[in-house]
Amino acid sequence: MASSVISSSPFVCKSSSSSSKKDLGFSSFTKSSQISIHRCQKKSISRKIVSVMAPQKDRSPGTTGSVKTGMTMTEKILARAAEKSLVVPGDNIWVNVDVLMTHDVCGPGAFGIFKREFGEKAKVWDPEKIVVIPDHYIFTADKRANRNVDIMREHCKEQNIKYFYDITDLGNFKANPDYKGVCHVALAQEGHCRPGEVLLGTDSHTCTAGAFGQFATGIGNTDAGFVLGTGKILLKVPPTMRFILDGEMPSYLQAKDLILQIIGEISVAGATYKTMEFSGTCIESLSMEERMTLCNMVVEAGGKNGVIPPDATTLNYVENRTSVPFEPVYSDGNASFVADYRFDVSKLEPVVAKPHSPDNRALARECKDVKIDRVYIGSCTGGKTEDFMAAAKLFHAAGKKVKVPTFLVPATQKVWMDVYALPVPGSGGKTCAQIFEEAGCDTPASPSCGACLGGPADTYARLNEPQVCVSTTNRNFPGRMGHKEGQIYLASPYTAAASALTGHVTDPREFLQ
Amino acid sequence: MAASLQSVNPTLSRNLSSPNNSSSVAPFRSPFLRFDSTSVSRGFKPLVSFRNASSSAFVTRSAAEPQERKTFHGLCYVVGDNIDTDQIIPAEFLTLVPSNPDEYEKLGSHALVGLPAAYKERFVQPGEMKTKYSIIIGGENFGCGSSREHAPVCLGAAGAKAVVAQSYARIFFRNSVATGEIYPLDSEVRVCDECKTGDVATIELREGDSILINHTTGKEYKLKAIGDAGPVIDAGGIFAYARKAGMIPSAAA
């Protein structure tokens, strides 16, 4: 088992050589200087794409002008957010936060800490930079779960939070115009993910947003409470591991296979405290949703954040969803990487992660004797529109019915609508929903995190017995989907669909070639 | 305050200045919020706070006095590698809000209930609210998985004082320190292979050489210094520490 190499406590403060007291530290936390920081930023954001660096103070000549030391994307993003011209891995820096996301499970705790520490009458640092997305325990009769959504409503009302994707009618998700669903997918769909920014969330899969070329990572309630009050967080700059994926993506392979391949390679602690940067010709060919799947599971390798250089695909997605100005950054040619991995994607095969660890990698075709009891297609990892399209495409190509209960949980309202409205290419105009029905799958359920993490006892598709499940989700530790002796095989949507058709773990090439 | 923190632990800088020898360095948890105790400049009050086990009295001491020892004594509970947050606190209990005192206690009663049945001896006995084990001994990558702060919180709420593991997942480590709920200590060897649940042990935290003494086996193990994470946990977490150090304003009245 690879142990973490360059591990780091995020709390060491190191003053940069030339900065004055004001550059770092809590002296900037009084309300007036908070306002002055915002004013500086507002003044400079007057054109569409501008530098977001605040005016520099008292910098010695050596630190102005062009930076000779190369930086990786993550280093650049953090340097800019900390208003520094240069950072190196290991630096502990105070970083300005662009977006803070929370949901129904951690939101009440984070706001509870915020109020306890900053005062009952305290106001959040910026009500437009906080996004509250109920998504975890929504369609349940559990009173505490329901109460937690109500608690978030109260906080959002009191603080005038601009983005609160509320749900009040639990019996009919469509009756809630604001409700979105799974937070990481909603953040992207609603235009909150922008290149170059710092996005924090009270959820480990916040790293998903790294697909947009930003620094995105998960934090706990206490850190979030701190950010709520100050808009800043103390972070240690992570070193970057580079993963170059070249070659043409085979038609039966998906981003899920790529990340399972990588995690199997480096283990669940292989990227602890580090950045995972993905590039290469294969990455460039991936859609945004596929890139999100890739970055989503960075945390399963212990990674601090994942990042993909923004390109035309990114800009096209983002510019259609937000008018907030942003500025992408890219790794310098002479940046330092702490590890380099290269993959020829054309040689890879569909893989699964066997129970009970995301790094327990095996070829799907080598697991064909594993009898399964059910299939689950959903979650931020594998419940997006393209994930369902892929499953539908395979079901259609096969023309057969599933042999085991097959649960479908679209991540968001929008995904649900796509499943019912968009035609699946090559099917003669059928929608995913029609194909799923013909194949004998369960009806697509209300969008939420669903059974990915088990949840309250009445959660749809929860593993309540020691069954074997092939799932497009992200973790398969004991008890993850409910029952402690449940056995979860993590897989791509293609592999999940193929497995549903045979009742065994199945390589999708059985049906796709 | 941060700007007056002069020195980062030199070992840490050394590790990170040579990014290419990634395979040669053992895991190292750096001290954090380290301040130069000889320099009282820039209006920052050096502060070492010490939490007394039986009361919440805080003692402010000047930097010239000898280092304090902090001691934990009690029973060990031994687990393996990759104990993820779902095993520490299954997702169904996340409806409990940790900042609510009643629910905080309830979280403690469910600590480590997600461990498989192979763990015959449970961390919290059925029907109990607290654990009889004050020290958890783990392997690699303790606390991996989710960012849920409920994980270190439930361990602290149950009454555990420290985890001794070979390595930690970053969010769990960070949350442990930020909440001040439990000490995440690093061992240098695979202590989980040499200790059994129920062993009686003492942990002594010192500036230079912290140790774990297993009284049942008679063996001693060196622990890596927790450094400046210690005072933060002693103070009760990042907010309490920051307030004591004058870094942030006190909670508004």
**Is residue A43 scored above 60 in pLDDT?**
no
pLDDT at B11: 33
Q: How far apart are CA A474 and CA A449, in angstroms?
A: 11
Instruction: Decide if A157 touches B, using CB distance below 8 A.
Output: no
**Is residue A5 scored above 60 in pLDDT?**
no
Maximum separation of any 2 CA atoms in chain B, in Å: 56
pLDDT at A91: 86
Is the ipTM of this structure higher than 0.85? no
Residue predicted with more confidence, A421 or A17 = A421
Contact check, Cβ <8 Å, B19/A337: yes
pLDDT at B249: 63
Q: Are A182 and A379 in contact (CB under 8 A)?
A: yes
- Nearest chain B Cα to A203, which residue? B147
Query: Can you read off the two tokens belonging to residue A306?
Result: 């994942």
Contact check, Cβ <8 Å, B16/A88: yes
Kindly report, residue by residue over A65-114, the tens digit of the pLDDT.
555 789 999 999 999 999 999 999 988 888 999 999 999 999 999 999 99
Binning pLDDT at 50, 70 and 90, where does residue B63 land?
very low
pLDDT at A423: 97
Among A272-276, A277-281, B123-127, B204-208, the range scoring the smallest mean pLDDT is B204-208
**Which residue's entry shows tokens 């902090």?**
B70
Q: A217 to chain B nearest CA, in Å?
A: 9
Contact check, Cβ <8 Å, B22/A144: no
Kindly report, residue by residue over B178-236, the tens digit of the pLDDT.
999 999 999 999 999 999 999 999 999 887 779 999 999 999 999 988 877 888 888 99
What is the CB neighbour count within 10 angstroms for residue A251?
12
Q: In A266-357, where do the E strands start and end? A: 275-279, 305-307, 339-344, 351-353
Of A3, A9, A23, the CB nearest to B167: A3
**Is residue B3 scored above 90 in pLDDT?**
no
**Which residue's entry shows tokens 């009898």?**
A371
Instruction: Decide if A18 touches B, using CB distance below 8 A.
Output: no
Contact check, Cβ <8 Å, B99/A112: yes
Q: How many contacts, defined by CB atoms under 8 Å, are there between A and B?
A: 264
pLDDT at A280: 97
Test mutation, B84, B96, B177, B241, chain A, max A CBs within 10 A = B84
Residues of B in contact with A336 (CB under 8 A): 19-20
**Is residue B123 scored above 50 in pLDDT?**
yes
Residues of A in contact with B21 (CB under 8 A): none
Residue predicted with more confidence, B22 or A501 = A501
**Is residue A183 scored above 50 in pLDDT?**
yes
Residues of A in contact with B117 (CB under 8 A): 484-485
Percent of all residues in chain A with a pLDDT value above 90, rounded to a whole number? 85
Q: How far apart are CA B97 and CA A135, in angstroms?
A: 16
Binning pLDDT at 50, 70 and 90, where does residue A344 land?
very high
Q: A452 to chain B nearest CA, in Å?
A: 10
Instruction: Decide if A9 touches B, using CB distance below 8 A.
Output: yes
- Nearest chain A Cα to B34, which residue? A12
Binning pLDDT at 50, 70 and 90, where does residue A24 land?
very low
Binning pLDDT at 50, 70 and 90, where does residue A2 land?
very low
**Is residue A132 scored above 80 in pLDDT?**
yes
Q: A397 to chain B nearest CA, in Å?
A: 36
Q: What are phi and psi of A63, to 5 degrees?
A: -105, 0
Mean per-residue pLDDT for B39-51? 30
**Is residue A201 scored above 50 in pLDDT?**
yes
Binning pLDDT at 50, 70 and 90, where does residue B252 land?
very low
Contact check, Cβ <8 Å, A29/B12: no
Test mutation, A4, A234, A305, A331, chain B, max B CBs within 10 A = A4
Contact check, Cβ <8 Å, B251/A117: yes
pLDDT at A279: 97
Residue predicted with more confidence, A16 or A226 = A226
Q: How far apart are CA A216 and CA A235, in angstroms?
A: 12
Binning pLDDT at 50, 70 and 90, where does residue A6 land?
very low
What is the CB neighbour count within 10 angstroms for residue A171?
7
Of A90, A273, A357, the CB nearest to B13: A90
Mean per-residue pLDDT for B57-66? 37
Q: How far apart are CA B250 and CA A116, in angstroms?
A: 10
Q: B48 to chain A nearest CA, in Å?
A: 16
Binning pLDDT at 50, 70 and 90, where does residue B28 land?
very low
**Which residue's entry shows tokens 């509970």?**
B77
Mean of per-residue pLDDT scores for chain A? 89
Binning pLDDT at 50, 70 and 90, where does residue B251 land?
low
Of A9, A15, A148, the CB nearest to B2: A15
Among A55-59, A468-472, B7-11, B91-95, the range scoring the smallest mean pLDDT is B7-11
Q: Which pTM value belongs to this model? A: 0.80
Contact check, Cβ <8 Å, A14/B8: yes
Binning pLDDT at 50, 70 and 90, where does residue B59 land?
very low
Q: B198 to chain A nearest CA, in Å?
A: 24
Closest CA to A136 of B154, B91, B90, B104: B91
Kindly report, residue by residue over B108-122, the tens digit of the pLDDT.
999 999 999 999 999
pLDDT at A424: 97
Query: Can you read off the two tokens belonging to residue B217?
Result: 């086996």
Query: Would you call B163 helix, strand, or coil by DSSP?
Result: strand
pLDDT at A90: 87
Q: How far apart are CA B34 and CA A9, in angstroms?
A: 11
Test mutation, A117, A118, A462, chain B, max B CBs within 10 A = A117
Of A29, A222, A273, the CB nearest to B238: A222
Q: A467 to chain B nearest CA, in Å?
A: 15
Contact check, Cβ <8 Å, B95/A145: yes
Tally: H helices and E strands in chain A? 16, 17
**Is residue B51 scored above 90 in pLDDT?**
no
Q: How far apart are CA B230 and CA B224, in angstroms?
A: 12
